[in-house]
Chain A
């Protein structure tokens, strides 16, 4: 017959685990949505700024507190779960590309009236930067395995610098195009260009945020291999998505 080794005495633990940070973070996100609603739906700028002022400290504080509490306490399963999260992330990009493909394949003329010639050299440079950063984070992980803290931190900082350079180039390009009169409101191509590059850029930013959140504990000697393997996987994903962005948006 079925047997359970564990005899249970119903002995409850003295206390139940708690964490304040998920709660703080979700309130921050609620305030962020309210800020957007106040600004864009009701055109109340002051309340919107106040909501934003409440939201950002809650979000940043929530993330910082959460990281500080959890770092190094068992990310054993996070690498496996990141694969599933990436599946969900990939579907967001697929949806945006689908909106682009629907519009583009049905368009009677392409490029649409109002579109401008996109620069060709800059996206190549951006690609090289991002691919290089994938190699540098890989290098950093190598030093992590060798327990070489200073070399590890150094390579992470190089990766962060490359990520920032990528975002800088993207910002430069946006600025340039907006000055040429090509905005998110110009036509469908403007809409998808800024949405897809913006969506990708936001992922770069999140990746950088993860690195920054991890690099401070790392400087103090709190090296969590599980955390960095997972962060690295996310970064590689952001890198791979960029190939789709470049090929579909810039060179098609």
Chain B
């Protein structure tokens, strides 16, 4: 193995694996932040630290690194890079050097995020960076800005690259309606990235301008407006949920098809109604993050309607998931277990989101642990389990070896149980006690002592699950049994080349027959 051919690589598979290593490292760091916070909250009063600002830095690092360093790069970086060119029968992406530039910009962003732990006055602005706090804090807001900018720019150029790749580099005979669902979901995701990421980049840049160059974008005394930031920020950051959601739906949809040996039920509805429905509606719902910051009723009610409308495309995709299982010959290997777990956790998270969309309920639930529990069900556990199901699924292709099934299943049980223990309890204390989120301590809520301890135990369980999983991957990559080209007996194109695939993917570009489909199982 030649180190130079890894560091300076332009091959999409190696870039994908670099993305995977970087994002999993970010996941571990951000996960440790979560454990520190849970340990701090396990008992009343100062537990690990007596300094609330330290807690704020953990909170910042957990949120920013999980979203920007782990979920988005793992899905639109790793999964897209590794699978898309293989799924569409291309020898690489459209611009391989640009692709290498994306991954290294992402690493530079991660380096900036990790500087949080070594510099004086680290950022303490959550992952949202709201002014006026972010412009007056002694914390280093510039570091937050640059972390977002570098990773955001990496996303934009990856978006340009992948949209071009999918549009122009499909194998001969691979028409749009024969694409894997995952390819569609990545396409939708990158279209959203191109539209929304620049807005986030601008918002966080203007915050640093205000703080360090003395501008007045968000300064009401000089004609600026604080709410401008919240609007710009959520104009990106709500669609960011769908940037994460679409590829994770794509991964589990493909896994469902493979392990049910079945076509995707209602494929066109899931693609044109589901994926593109989300892309279209995603830009009209961001104001629901501002329900309690004050706005006229017509706007609040309009946003409630658009927010609830998101259920329609999501529902279409969920129907496709269930319909794909129906009458399939289902097997329960580890990737499928994680994918099923994703679907369950996503259903809980999605359904508990509906009360939050309803303005009359959200006034009471806003800023409580209910919100935290809800979005952790969707983002943290459904999103992560989907990413990891993708890693398990493509692991034989990447390494040429199988993951140990037994330990894979044990890891799944720990993760799934731990996730529900923490986040169900979290929603519970949010609704019943109105426990406010983000606080360093809960001295005014002695009645939640028991629940806090339960959540901390849950975090340890989920931590054990993830630790077993990572260890299993490392050991299986070295010592696992040989996989062969197509261990899951999938019909999808990526399984027709060697494991791991050579540079250029296929000796000759694949040409597809008229009746080829990635889901042509029924005709077996």
Contacts and interface: CB of A to CB of B under 8 A. Distances in A.
Q: Do A and B bind each other?
A: yes
Interface of A: 1-13, 15-23, 25-27, 29-30, 33, 36-37, 40-42, 66, 69-70, 77-78, 80-81, 84-85, 87-89, 91-92, 94-96, 98-99, 102-103, 106-107, 112, 184-185, 187-192, 195
B225 to A, nearest CB: 5
Contacts of A191: 209, 215-217, 222, 224
B225 A103 contact: yes
A107 B223 CA distance: 6
Given A26-B108, A88-B159, A103-B228, 8 more contacts: A2-B520, A6-B506, A16-B5, A22-B100, A33-B150, A41-B212, A80-B167, A99-B217
A53 B15 CA distance: 29
A30 B146 CA distance: 9
Interface stretch (B41-49, B419-427, B511-519): B511-519
27 contacts: A1-B520, A2-B512, A2-B513, A2-B516, A4-B510, A8-B496, A11-B507, A17-B9, A17-B10, A17-B11, A18-B4, A18-B8, A21-B97, A22-B104, A26-B107, A30-B108, A70-B97, A85-B156, A91-B195, A91-B198, A94-B199, A98-B231, A99-B228, A185-B215, A188-B217, A188-B222, A195-B206
B142 A103 contact: no
B202 interface: yes
B496 A4 contact: yes
Contacts of A15: 5, 503
A12 B502 contact: yes
A78 B4 CA distance: 27
A17 B223 contact: no
B510 A102 contact: no
Interface string B124-135: 000000000000
A187 B97 contact: no
Interface string B409-424: 0000000000000000
Nearest to B213: A184
B227 interface: yes
A1 B513 CA distance: 8
B126 to A, nearest CB: 18
B216 A188 contact: yes
Contacts, number: 220
Interface size for chain B: under 10, 10 to 19, 20 to 34, or 35 or more residues?
A: 35 or more
Contacts of A106: 225
A191 B496 CA distance: 57
Interface in B81-134: 94-98, 100-101, 104-105, 107-108, 111-112, 120-121
Contacts of B511: 4-6
B370 to A, nearest CB: 31
B226 to A, nearest CB: 10
B475 to A, nearest CB: 25
B143 interface: yes
B289 interface: no
B95 A81 contact: yes
Contacts of B215: 184-185, 191, 195
Contact of B199 (A7, A8, A77, A95): A95
B132 to A, nearest CB: 15
B96 to A, nearest CB: 7
Contact of A40 (B14, B121, B213): B213
B507 A8 contact: yes
B15 to A, nearest CB: 10
Contact of A29 (B150, B217, B504, B513): B150
Greatest chain A CB density within 10 A among B150, B169, B202, B516 is at: B202
Contact of B513 (A3, A19, A92, A95): A3
- Ranked nearest first, the 7 interchain pairs of A and B with the lowest CB-CB distance are A188-B223, A10-B498, A22-B101, A95-B202, A26-B104, A91-B198, A12-B502
A244 to B, nearest CB: 15
A5 to B, nearest CB: 5
B482 interface: no
Contacts of A40: 142, 212-213
A11 B503 CA distance: 9
B497 interface: yes
B520 to A, nearest CB: 5
Given A95-B202, A188-B224, A33 B112 contact: yes
Contacts of B203: 95
A88 B156 contact: yes
Contacts of A18: 4-5, 8-10
Contacts of B294: none
Contacts of B2: 16
A33 B146 contact: yes
B509 interface: yes
Contacts of B197: 88
A132 to B, nearest CB: 29
B300 interface: no
B434 to A, nearest CB: 33
B104 A17 contact: no
Contact of B491 (A2, A78, A185): A2
A6 B112 contact: no
A177 B160 CA distance: 38
Contacts of A195: 206, 209, 215, 217
Given A2-B512, A16-B9, A99 B232 contact: yes
Contacts of B199: 91-92, 94-95
B140 A37 contact: yes
Interface string B9-36: 1110010000000000000000000000
Contacts of B104: 22-23, 25-27
Given A29-B105, A184-B214, A84 B8 contact: no
A103 B198 CA distance: 20
B134 to A, nearest CB: 13
A12 B199 CA distance: 43
Contact of A30 (B150, B232, B513): B150
B523 interface: yes
Contacts of B485: 8
B111 A30 contact: yes
B508 interface: yes
Greatest chain A CB density within 10 A among B105, B157, B225, B511 is at: B225
B78 interface: no
B194 interface: yes
B395 to A, nearest CB: 18
Nearest to B516: A2
Contact of A102 (B121, B142, B164, B225): B225
Given A6-B508, A81-B164, A95 B198 contact: yes
B194 to A, nearest CB: 5
A82 to B, nearest CB: 8
Contacts of B506: 6, 8
B196 interface: yes
